[in-house]
A and B are shown apart, each in its own frame.
Chain A
């Protein structure tokens, strides 16, 4: 079912974590709450989960107002950044926990747990303890545990934050595939824009307790609502009040009308992509992004003088 957040405000003492936030999360979607540390994204997730009470506002699951209900009554599944594994129980017992608490019949529990362990590819490790698993395996166990009770909503709080880069990439792809198969409304909190863009169908950008923009990854990248979103979602150049992407900075060896002169300070080769750091006469630093071929055509190297001009730029009404 979908989730609707209506004008939620949450304060911790004088600190305003969420400021009149309203968001609609479509049923069956995979939505990311994206923002820097302290932006309030985790707080919003916990309010949706029922682990925190909002000072004002409502949370609706489907058509039901669940604002007064505690976490255990909401039917949400939650996955935590540091796994929150029940360290005194085996993997199997961890996954079975929610079902045991609901007093489901033994046969049903066995069937469901085995099914889930197979789904998350942990079926050989059911008798191990969490301490004996790798980080990635623990998180897969946590997901299986959350899914075991057939939650209406799956909430993931920076689930891959504590894992190494390679495992993170693997699990992102894995989560996407899982969601395609299981179709539960899922919200993932992350500060990593690459992760949000890769995994989510819809992104809610949050900063300082406020929603900056809601949209698909493409919408956010191509039509950012403001400076914050634009710079958070990808690298950005700023001259005065105009902003443009490194990819949109054209480099040329010839002066072309209103192009400005700049010197290449540094060239970085990243596979098929080349990044250049440039500096203009007036000291302004710029970032450019080219393909291998474009760089070769220019014979791009340190010290080269080029003429730069953005071919696409945005200004924001303040």
Chain B
């Protein structure tokens, strides 16, 4: 009697597999909850503990608002700057060829690996009152920008490199054979294909710049209304025993982080729409 091939035969371990899967999911979700979700929920809860009016007051207080404005503007400036320098560096690392290229490629990861406080200390030594160059950017917005440029360096570079590596060189040759000059080939062929990656890198750089603390806390001097960013403001509010105020501003930063993640997801979706 022939077995009907349409009837699924129970595979060994099928049930165990499903149970194992559910267990894995349960553990995973449990871990995430304990580590991430519950603390963030507590944060959001604390921010509204004294009511919506207080929440609004806390984030619109002059010092808080100034800090937020500075944070966003500085992050935008740095992210935009990185769009250019990051792409240029990625180009030089992928398309160019010279001795020591490997070392420069490795060095890109240094801002990720180095503790932010060390980065801050080092930048202060280089561009602050003891600077061997004779500049003094401490307590200045320029110092703040330098610190943010340091920590955001890897993001656009690492986002663009793989896309540049994978780019079909044939397309550029075809464009050239059709009469396009170098710049036109870059503008019309290479750049449109790099754009989603650049934007993803820019979004990550922006998020990192908004939240940066360690690198900034030394060189910027944290002068309220001048060089105080939101992360430092929050830290100050905790020390001044105003947890609600700290929480309120934190929730704003949290919302920005979530928005950035959404944007990155959208860019990823956009990037893959042309792939065969």
Give the top 3 A-B pairs by smallest Cβ distance, nearest first: A84-B170, A98-B178, A84-B174
Cβ A51 vs Cβ B173 within 8 A: yes
Report A39-97 residues with CB < 8 Å from chain B CB: 49-51, 70-73, 76-78, 80, 82-88, 97
**Complex: how many Å from CA A40 to CA B19?**
60
Q: List 30 A-B contacts (CB under 8 A).
A: A50-B177, A51-B176, A71-B173, A71-B177, A72-B176, A72-B180, A72-B181, A73-B179, A76-B177, A77-B177, A77-B178, A84-B168, A87-B171, A87-B193, A87-B274, A87-B276, A97-B175, A97-B178, A97-B180, A97-B188, A98-B178, A98-B179, A101-B180, A101-B184, A101-B188, A129-B274, A131-B274, A142-B174, A145-B174, A145-B178
Flag whether A130 is at the interface (Cβ < 8 A): yes
Which one of A49, A88, A131 contacts B177 once the chains associate, using CB atoms below 8 Å?
A49
**Complex: how many Å from CA A73 to CA B177?**
8
Cβ B177 vs Cβ A78 within 8 A: yes
Flag whether B192 is at the interface (Cβ < 8 A): yes
A89 to chain B, nearest CB (A): 8
Cβ A102 vs Cβ B179 within 8 A: yes
Cβ A86 vs Cβ B276 within 8 A: no
Flag whether B189 is at the interface (Cβ < 8 A): yes
Q: Name which of B181, B274, B275 has the most chain A CB atoms within 10 A of its CB.
A: B274
**Complex: how many Å from CA A185 to CA B223?**
73
Flag whether A149 is at the interface (Cβ < 8 A): yes
Which one of A70, A86, A149 contacts B171 once the chains associate, using CB atoms below 8 Å?
A86
A172 to chain B, nearest CB (A): 22
Cβ A80 vs Cβ B276 within 8 A: no
Nearest CB in chain A to that of B189: its residue: A86
Cβ A88 vs Cβ B274 within 8 A: yes
Which one of B174, B188, B193, B275 contacts A78 once the chains associate, using CB atoms below 8 Å?
B174
B251 to chain A, nearest CB (A): 39
Which one of A50, A82, A129, A149 contacts B178 once the chains associate, using CB atoms below 8 Å?
A149
B83 to chain A, nearest CB (A): 19
Nearest CB in chain A to that of B170: its residue: A84
Given the known A-B contacts A80-B170, A87-B171, are A72 and B276 also in contact in the complex, defined by CB atoms under 8 Å?
Answer: no
**Complex: how many Å from CA A130 to CA B175?**
16
A82-B170, A86-B171, A97-B188 given; name 6 further pairs at CB < 8 Å: A72-B180, A78-B177, A86-B189, A87-B171, A87-B193, A88-B192
Cβ B177 vs Cβ A51 within 8 A: yes
B101-131 interface bits toward A, Cβ cutoff 8 Å, 1 = contact, 0 = none = 0000000000000000000000000000000
B121 to chain A, nearest CB (A): 45
Flag whether A17 is at the interface (Cβ < 8 A): no
Residues of B within 8 A of A116 (CB): none
Task: Tell me the interface secondary structure of chain B in the complex.
Answer: helix
Report B166-214 residues with CB < 8 Å from chain A CB: 168, 170-171, 173-181, 184, 188-189, 192-193
* Chain A residues bordering chain B, tally (CB within 8 A): 29
A140-179 interface bits toward B, Cβ cutoff 8 Å, 1 = contact, 0 = none = 0010011001000000000000000000000000000000
Cβ B176 vs Cβ A70 within 8 A: yes
Report B66-87 residues with CB < 8 Å from chain A CB: none
**Complex: how many Å from CA A78 to CA B173?**
9
Q: Which residues of A come within 8 Å of B, CB atoms? A: 49-51, 70-73, 76-78, 80, 82-88, 97-98, 101-102, 129-131, 142, 145-146, 149
Residues of A within 8 A of B193 (CB): 87-88
Nearest CB in chain A to that of B177: its residue: A78
**Complex: how many Å from CA A306 to CA B75?**
89
Q: Name which of B168, B170, B174, B192 has the most chain A CB atoms within 10 A of its CB.
A: B174
Cβ B179 vs Cβ A72 within 8 A: yes
**Complex: how many Å from CA A101 to CA B186?**
13
Cβ A146 vs Cβ B178 within 8 A: yes
Residues of A within 8 A of B179 (CB): 72-73, 98, 101-102, 149
**Complex: how many Å from CA A71 to CA B168?**
18
B122-145 interface bits toward A, Cβ cutoff 8 Å, 1 = contact, 0 = none = 000000000000000000000000
Residues of B within 8 A of A97 (CB): 175, 178, 180, 188
**Complex: how many Å from CA A51 to CA B185?**
14
B183 to chain A, nearest CB (A): 11
Cβ A87 vs Cβ B275 within 8 A: yes
Residues of A within 8 A of B177 (CB): 49-51, 71-72, 76-78, 146
**Complex: how many Å from CA A57 to CA B100?**
36
**Complex: how many Å from CA A102 to CA B174?**
15
Residues of A within 8 A of B188 (CB): 97, 101
Which one of A50, A86, A87 contacts B175 once the chains associate, using CB atoms below 8 Å?
A86
Nearest CB in chain B to that of A145: its residue: B178
Residues of A within 8 A of B180 (CB): 72, 97, 101
Residues of A within 8 A of B276 (CB): 87, 130-131
B173 to chain A, nearest CB (A): 6
Residues of A within 8 A of B184 (CB): 101
Which one of B173, B189, B274 contacts A80 once the chains associate, using CB atoms below 8 Å?
B173
A207 to chain B, nearest CB (A): 26
Nearest CB in chain A to that of B172: its residue: A84
Residues of A within 8 A of B175 (CB): 86, 97, 101
**Complex: how many Å from CA A113 to CA B145?**
50
**Complex: how many Å from CA A130 to CA B275?**
9
